[in-house]
Each structure stands twice: as structure tokens, then as C-alpha cells.
């Protein structure tokens, strides 16, 4: 394979990673932000470490790390705000992951809401508090996913602009 062919392959792979990062940000247990950053850095290496420039590279890295933090902490923060325990949030994440493979995206929502409600009701014997925790956790998880998708999409759009300009 010629050098030009390898360079083209690396650019295509970089954009595949960038698109995969956006998709991954909407998929449970896939670190979309890290996939996006892998695309950014692969493009940077393929360009001879010239594109994107240092400032843009640093900003994209910060956006990627912020997105990763939202991915890691979003559900747990929402659970705590809703009144659920960290243990409940972790259990809800596991149940949602299993149900995702059984029922798809709907399983994630039902798994989180149902698990938080049942576990919190068991812990506190308060139906209203358990329902609030389940609702806030589910809405927070959805909001976290939307924020991650928007941030990884902004990385993709920026890299398209870098490639075209």
C-alpha cells in the first residue's frame, strides 16, 4: 500500500471513529467520548500532527473529557438528586444494560425506572419518594445521553470543518 493510500485509510478510519463516537454516546456502556477522541487524535497523527492546530486539539480534548465525565457521572448524579442511593443507581445501570440486549432501548428506560422504584421502595417503604427517585433518575439519564450526543456531535462537526477548510 502506498503512503498516500495509507494516509487516506487513516483519515477514513478517523472519521469512522468520530461517527462511532456519536453513535456510542447514545449506546449504553460504550464510551462515545473516548471513541471520538480516538478519531480526533488519529486524524491529527495522519495529518502529520498539523491538523487540527494545537488550540483546537486542546479544546476538542477538553470537550471529549467533559463528555466522558458526563457519561460516567450523569446517571449517578441524577439518582442522587432524585433521592436514590449510589448502590441503587449502579444496580439500575446493570439491569438497564441487560435489558438493552433483551428489549432494546426501551429496556434501558424501563430497567432504570423500574429498578430505582423497586429498590428505593424496598429501602424506604415510600411509594411517592420511590416514584420521584425513579422519574428523576430516568429523566437525568436521558438528559445525560442527549448532552453526550450533542458534545460528541460538536467534535464531529468541528473535525469536518477542519478537514474541509
The C-alpha cell that represents 72 in the structure block: 460516567
SS3 53: coil
Phi, psi of 28 (to 5 degrees): -60, 140
User: Distance of alpha carbon 41 from its chain centroid, rounded?
Assistant: 18
Report the alpha-carbon distance of residue 72 to residue 69 in Å, rounded.
5
Mean pLDDT taken over the chain: 91
The C-alpha cell that represents 112 in the structure block: 432504570
Report the alpha-carbon distance of residue 80 to residue 77 in Å, rounded.
5
Confidence of residue 157 (pLDDT cuts 50, 70, 90): very high
What integer is the mean pLDDT of 124-149? 92
Report the alpha-carbon distance of residue 32 to residue 54 in Å, rounded.
22
* CA angle centred on 45, ends 62 and 16, rounded to 5°: 75
Host domain of residue 132 = 3-163
51-88 confidence digits (pLDDT tens): 999 999 999 999 999 999 988 888 778 888 888 988 89
Q: How many domains does the chain have?
A: 1
Report the alpha-carbon distance of residue 153 to residue 159 in Å, rounded.
10
Mark out the alpha helices in the chain (DSSP H runs): 3-25, 32-46, 54-82, 86-103, 105-124, 127-164
72 CB-near residues (< 8 Å, 6+ apart): none
The pTM of this model reads 0.83
Confidence of residue 1 (pLDDT cuts 50, 70, 90): low
Amino acid at each position: 500500500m502506498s503512503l498516500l493510500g495509507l494516509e487516506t485509510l487513516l483519515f477514513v478510519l478517523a472519521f469512522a471513529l468520530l461517527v462511532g463516537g456519536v453513535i456510542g454516546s447514545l449506546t449504553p456502556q460504550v464510551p462515545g467520548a473516548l471513541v471520538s477522541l480516538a478519531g480526533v487524535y488519529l486524524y491529527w497523527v495522519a495529518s502529520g500532527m498539523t491538523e487540527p492546530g494545537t488550540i483546537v486539539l486542546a479544546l476538542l480534548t477538553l470537550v471529549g473529557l467533559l463528555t466522558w465525565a458526563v457519561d460516567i457521572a450523569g446517571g449517578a448524579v441524577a439518582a442522587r438528586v432524585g433521592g436514590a442511593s449510589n448502590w441503587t443507581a449502579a444496580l439500575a445501570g446493570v439491569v438497564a444494560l441487560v435489558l438493552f440486549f433483551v428489549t432494546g432501548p426501551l429496556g434501558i428506560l424501563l430497567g432504570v425506572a423500574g429498578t430505582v422504584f423497586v429498590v428505593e421502595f424496598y429501602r424506604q417503604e415510600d411509594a411517592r419518594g420511590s416514584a420521584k427517585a425513579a422519574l428523576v433518575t430516568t429523566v437525568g439519564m436521558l438528559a445525560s445521553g442527549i448532552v453526550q450526543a450533542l458534545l460528541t456531535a460538536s467534535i464531529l462537526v468541528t473535525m469536518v470543518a477542519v478537514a474541509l477548510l
